[in-house]
Amino acid sequence: MPGLGALPLAASESNLLAARELMAFTLGFHIVLACLGVALPAIILTANWLGLKRGDEDAMRLARRWSKAMAVTFAVGAVTGTVLSFEFGLLWPEFMARFGDAFGIAFAIEGIFFFTEAIFLAIYIYGWKRLSGWAHWWSGVPMVITGIGGAFSVVAANAWMNQPQGFTLDAAGKVVDTEPFEVLFNPAWSYEVPHMILAAYMVAGFLVASIYAVGMLRGRRDRMHRLGLLIPLTIACIATPIQLFVGDTAAREVADHQPAKFAGFECIQETGPDQTEYLGGICTDDGVEGAIGIPGLDSFLVGFDTDTVVTGLEDIPPDERPPANTLLHLSFDAMVGIGSALLGLGAWLAFVWWRRRDIPQTPWFLRAVAASGVSAIVAMWCGWIVTEVGRQPWIVQGYMRTEEAVTEAEGIWFAFAGVLVLYTGLGIGAVLVLRAMSRRWREEDEGDESETPYAPALGNGDFPVHMTGNSPEGGS
């Protein structure tokens, strides 16, 4: 690369590790809340819509409560996102100084979406009492759009790091010209963005459903719990098959454009046709140990033909190979495995619903749903590990190495420790607050003083409070 490598590496090496860990940790934290910010609005509006359209008070109450919870997660998402913005500069000043004019464009757009989201979120959350029902519902709609738009712009920036384009460098490696459209609509956005948005819907949907599943396992099987499980679970289960399709496309694109990453997470050592697909196992220089191998499948998945030639790590220059192949491989397998399991969960629900218009009755179903929320989060984390660690040693694929980007500031490990403490507090605080909320709601339900929104009371929908029998459809 032209004009690079001027950094005193000894000082930077420890910084590099610290900065990466810090970045990964804070991103991993933020992304969970970001998923809720992207997808909860649609889930809440669905419940709100059922409430308005069918006079379903349970659905209405769920919408109202979820929106209260979202106020908390949104605030935590906003602060952790702000920290990330700072971190770009604090940890990777060289990266921002050199590529901010290209990489930054997407974030400038993101600013508008977050702004609009924050505004309508405030109107929606604080508008329950005084706005009229449908005006209030519509005030929530922009959140759905801005959530998707925000995810688009942030992930387009990340996609650009994977497949950078739309800029011209001079001899010294400085960006002298840019093409904003090319930057935004880089080749990787078309699979990364939908994959992330679907992941957000899966994470939010399964997570909310899992909370109600736990409640039902503890014996709270009233209609509100059933609805609280069914609405988000349906949304997440619809997203799942599409997600697997998009993920499959992503894998092929990565094989084409980032062969080092692909070889890394598939543990392919030698270039050639008829590559075996390994499930699990440990990557070594001689191949995968302790894995289940399916001969030819890897080649088939990449090119729909077992003769497809797939690049192995032997053809990647040693200093451009991704680190931690076993981590990459297992992360990828975990993502795909969890995705497939969740697909099975959706099929189970769909089948029983089709036959009996009800959710499956066995506790095993509830247990599976209870586990689905955390599983979806783990799958999403694993996907990010595949994407980010798999891109190493590059911060901008092919143009800038991560070690060139890192700050020379002292005390990054110290900062990491501080952030760890701070975020642990933040996480515990958020969980405690949400639990306190739910406890209060349960007491309210038992005391039966319903908090009717939209001042003039809604039509009195008195629904049977049973586990069986009444579906939302059956409610009208």
Kindly list the residues in this chain that would bind ligand HDD in the complex (CB under 6 A): 162, 188, 192, 195-196, 199, 202-203, 243-244, 247-248, 250-251, 254, 261, 335-336, 338-339, 376, 379-380, 383-384, 386-387, 390
Is residue 3 helix, strand or coil? coil
The span of 40-48, 68-76, 297-305, 369-377 binding other proteins (CB under 8 A) equals 68-76
Please state the closest distance from residue 150 (CB atom) to other proteins, in A: 11
Encoded one letter per residue, x for contact with ligand HEM by CB under 6 A and - for no contact, window 165-204 reads -------------------------------x--------
Identify which of residues 75 and 458 has a Cβ nearer to other proteins in the complex.
75
Q: Taking CB within 5 to 8 Å according to partner kind, which of other proteins, ligand HEM, ligand HDD, none is near residue 415?
A: other proteins
Nearer to ligand HDD by C-beta: 139 or 387? 387
- Kindly state the DSSP code that residue 392 receives in the 8-state scheme: T
Nearest to 137 by CA among 44, 37, 236: 44
In contact, 123 and 28? CB cutoff 8 Å: no
> Residue 395, interface with ligand HEM (CB under 6 A)?
yes
In the complex, least distance from residue 67 CB atom to other proteins, rounded to whole angstroms: 11
Alpha helices in 218-294 (DSSP H): 223-257, 259-266
Minimum distance of other proteins from residue 104's CB (angstroms):
3
Is residue 14 part of the contact set for other proteins (CB under 8 A)?
no
> Which among ligand HDD, ligand HEM, other proteins, none contacts residue 467 (Cβ within 5 to 8 A by kind)?
none
- Per rule CB under 6 A, is residue 206 in the interface with ligand HEM? no
CA 65, 67, 68: angle at the middle one, nearest 5?
A: 65
> Could you tell which of ligand HEM, other proteins, ligand HDD, none binds residue 34, using a CB distance below 5 to 8 A set by kind?
ligand HEM
Rounded CA-CA distance 233/223 in Å is: 15
Residues 28-67 that bind ligand HEM (CB under 6 A): 28, 30-31, 33-34, 37-38
Phi, psi of 138 (to 5 degrees): -65, -30
SS3 176: strand
Between residue 143 and residue 182, which ones bind other proteins under the rule CB under 8 A? 175-180
Query: Half-sphere exposure (CA, 13 Å, Cβ side) for 307?
Result: 0
What is the pairing mode between strands 175-178 and 167-169? antiparallel
Q: How far is CA 367 from CA 212, 220, 312, in A?
A: 11, 14, 41
Nearer to other proteins, 127 or 346 (CB): 127
Selected from 155, 207, 237, 255, the binder of ligand HEM by CB under 6 A is: 155
Task: Scan residues 121-140 and list those touching other proteins (CB under 8 A).
Answer: 121-123, 126-127, 129-131
CB 232 within 8 A of CB 472: no
CA distance 402 to 410: 17
Among 7, 15, 18, 20, binds ligand HEM (CB under 6 A): 20
Residue 53 within binding range of other proteins, rule CB under 8 A: no
The single residue listed with the structure tokens 């039902």 is 216
CA distances from 296 to 113, 247, 265, 310 (A): 45, 20, 16, 11
Q: In sequence order, which residues have a C-beta less than 8 Å from that of residue 219 and are 6 or more positions away?
A: none
For 249, counting Cβ atoms within 10 Å of its Cβ (0-12 exposed, 13-18 middle, 19+ buried), the class is middle
| 74 touching ligand HEM, by CB under 6 A | yes
Considering only residues 95-114, where is the footprint of other proteins by CB under 8 A?
Answer: 96-102, 104-105, 107-112, 114
- Length of the chain equals 476
| Under rule CB under 8 A, residue 420 binds other proteins | no
Burial of 228 (0-12, 13-18, 19+ CB in 10 A): buried
- The residue ranges that bind ligand HEM (CB under 6 A) are 20, 23-24, 27-28, 30-31, 33-34, 37-38, 73-74, 77-78, 81-82, 84-85, 88, 92, 114, 117-118, 147, 150-151, 154-155, 157-158, 196, 381, 384-385, 388-389, 391-392, 395, 402
